[in-house]
Amino acid sequence: MGAAKKFGLIGQNISYSFSGKYFTEKFRQLGLDNYSYKIFDLNDLESLRQFCEKEKLSGFNVTIPFKEKIIPLLDSLSEEAKMIGAVNTVAVRNGQLKGYNTDAAGFEATLMRLKRDHHRSALVLGNGGAAKAVKFVLKHHQIPYNTVYRKGALNFDTLTAEEVQAHKIIIQTTPVGTFPNIEDCLNFPFDALSSQHLVIDLIYNPSQTLFLRESASRGAITANGQMMLEQQAEKAWEIWNREA
């Protein structure tokens, strides 16, 4: 048995997270009884380096609201993380913190599984770290998009039915509707949706948000964030093993 290793997830209000259960089960299946994964609900990142040293972390995942805020505190970034401008995975090696983005690969797996020829342009709802990974993938696949967010020229008050009808891919990247606030929902013109639309909500808990339920009731193809989460977790695991 090798040396014990500890990993984790940092964020705020993340007791619902899937990551702890996912990695604990993964370690069990691999016979890595000396590996552990812990959820860390943090108020801020002020003492990040000391925190990593104290907890003896070999790597960790990053979620809301720290995916962008963590960047100045890291020693280096992968090329993809630099281009995206958000980090969701950090490898710790010899006291150095290197940031990666595995959200993009996770979202790409979901999009490519469901996308059809008529899905030619997108609306991205939200403008945080997850949205940055989504837009990176859309650019890579040459899918034009508009961003809808609270402070944007195109926002949830100005979004029209015509705009929704013109974009057959809708990607919901905000935390609105996440457990325990499962009856919360964005202000959105759902009646503009049709069976031609693909609606992806990156939330995975609950498995079907109110946003997805409303979309499905209009005939849209819908998907949650489960596949994205599993794919990005596997990419994180690859990185931690490679950097070990």
The pLDDT of residue 3 is 82
Q: Which of 35, 92, 105 is nearest to 240 (CA)?
A: 92
Model pLDDT for residues 66-105, shown as the tens digit of each residue: 999 999 999 999 999 999 999 999 999 999 999 999 999 9
Model pLDDT for residues 27-62, shown as the tens digit of each residue: 999 999 999 999 999 999 989 999 999 999 999 999
- CB count within 10 Å of CB 91 equals 22
Q: What is the mean pLDDT of residues 10-29?
A: 91
Q: How far apart (Å, rounded) are the C-alpha atoms in residues 20 and 18? A: 6
What is the pLDDT of the chain when averaged over all its residues? 95
Contact between 71 and 85 under an 8 Å Cβ cutoff? The reply is: yes
Q: Provide the CB-side half-sphere exposure for 235 (13 A, CA).
A: 23
Q: CB under 8 Å to 112, separation ≥6 — which residues?
A: none
Q: How far apart (Å, rounded) are the C-alpha atoms in residues 240 and 42? A: 22
The pLDDT of residue 231 is 94
The pLDDT of residue 244 is 56
Q: Which of 38, 54, 56, 67 is catalytic?
A: 67
Domains of the chain: 5-101+229-243 (3.40.50.10860), 104-227 (3.40.50.720)
Query: Measured at the alpha carbon of residue 118, what is the angle toward residues 176 and 105, in degrees to the nearest 5?
Result: 50
Contact between 38 and 5 under an 8 Å Cβ cutoff? The reply is: no
The pLDDT of residue 133 is 96
Output the CA–CA distances (angstroms, integers) from residue 69 to 49, 53, 107, 165, 241, in the order listed: 14, 20, 21, 35, 25
Q: Helix, strand, or coil here: 68?
A: coil
Q: What is the mean pLDDT of residues 9-35?
A: 92
The pLDDT of residue 242 is 85
Q: Helix, strand, or coil here: 8?
A: strand
Model pLDDT for residues 124-147, shown as the tens digit of each residue: 999 999 999 999 999 999 999 999
Q: What is the mean pLDDT of residues 5-31?
A: 92
Q: How far apart (Å, rounded) are the C-alpha atoms in residues 87 and 94? A: 20
Residue 17: band (very low, low, confident or very high) from pLDDT cuts 50, 70, 90: confident
Residue 2: band (very low, low, confident or very high) from pLDDT cuts 50, 70, 90: low
Contact between 46 and 27 under an 8 Å Cβ cutoff? The reply is: no
- Is there a catalytic annotation at residue 67? yes
Q: What is the mean pLDDT of residues 229-243?
A: 92
> Which two structure tokens, joined as six digits, stand for 40?
């860390």
The pLDDT of residue 49 is 94
Q: CB under 8 Å to 19, separation ≥6 — which residues?
A: 9, 37, 39, 61, 229, 233
Q: How far apart (Å, rounded) are the C-alpha atoms in residues 177 and 208? A: 9
What share of the chain in percent tops pLDDT 90? 91
